[in-house]
Amino acid sequence: MKTKTLLIGAAVFAAGYVNALALGQRFVDGYNFCSPPLLGANMSAEAMLATSLQQGDSVLIWNDDGYDTYVFFGPGDWLLPDGTTGSGPMLEMGTGFVYANGSGGPEDNTYTGTEFPGGSKVLKHSVYTLIGSFRPIAGDAESPAYNLPLQSGDAILKWTGSGFGTYVFVAPGLWVLPDSSIGSAPHIEVGEGFFYANGQSVDETWNQP
């Protein structure tokens, strides 16, 4: 059940004066750490994940202490974290979520929407925050396009399919890697969600241009 988020295609077309985008993402069996790569007209999980959701799939929303789990039964019908049924969760730009594919095989989703022009988020100290790029870009975590507020002792946790690989920032170009060796910044894929661990004694503010 190795889990890897994969960009499988992109198409751009004109809608009046606004460029509407379509981005494909493959969810393998098991847990996929994601973030919405586009701003949709409807940011509900059911709308954004409409082409992949199957009965028994789940969306997990991080609450700073654990996950709130929403299980998809059918259109408009979800099992909610409190055990009742209702509509599914909303997704937020810049915020990661977990897609639990329970189908036993890969599922393909197509996001539609527009590119979000960046944003801001508070990263609380001594708390893990599940985030993802506000924009549909890929690159290493030190890229100016992400503009993460990296300080010595902060860390990024990436899902490997069976656990998390932890990358601890020491200084520009210098990270402690999951195997305890020293190397460079981790790579972040389009639509990938990851944990940011603020290792400081105060909150940090992330402003992505």
Q: What are 182-209's pLDDT values in tens digits?
A: 999 999 999 999 999 999 999 999 999 9
User: Given the structure tokens 């960046």, which residue do they identify?
Assistant: 118
12 with 103, same domain: the answer is yes
126 with 155, same domain: the answer is yes
Provide the 3-class DSSP secondary structure of residue 47.
helix
pTM of the full structure: 0.90
List pLDDT tens digits, range 50-81: 999 999 999 999 999 999 999 999 999 999 99
Tell me the C-alpha distance between 82 and 40, whole Å. Answer: 27
> In the prediction, which pLDDT does 8 show?
36
103 with 10, same domain: the answer is yes
Tell me the C-alpha distance between 160 and 164, whole Å. Answer: 6
Q: If you ran DSSP here, which 8-state letter would residue 135 be given? A: S
- How many structural domains compose the chain? 2
Within a domain: 144? yes
Token pair in block for residue 66: 């654990």
Within a domain: 1? no
Within a domain: 40? yes
Q: Is the dihedral of CA 38, 110, 52, 195 positive or negative?
A: negative
98 with 13, same domain: the answer is yes
Give residue 59's domain range. Answer: 6-113
Token pair in block for residue 154: 């902060």
Tell me the C-alpha distance between 165 and 186, whole Å. Answer: 10
> In the prediction, which pLDDT does 19 show?
72
> In the prediction, which pLDDT does 13 show?
34
Q: ∠ at Cα 37 (59, 113), nearest 5°? A: 100
17 with 105, same domain: the answer is yes
Mean pLDDT by 10 residues, the chain (209 residues): 39 48 96 98 98 98 97 98 97 98 96 96 95 97 98 98 97 98 98 98 98
Last residue of a domain, one of 113, 144, 171: 113
> In the prediction, which pLDDT does 153 show?
97
The pair phi, psi for residue 47, each rounded to 5°, is -75, -45
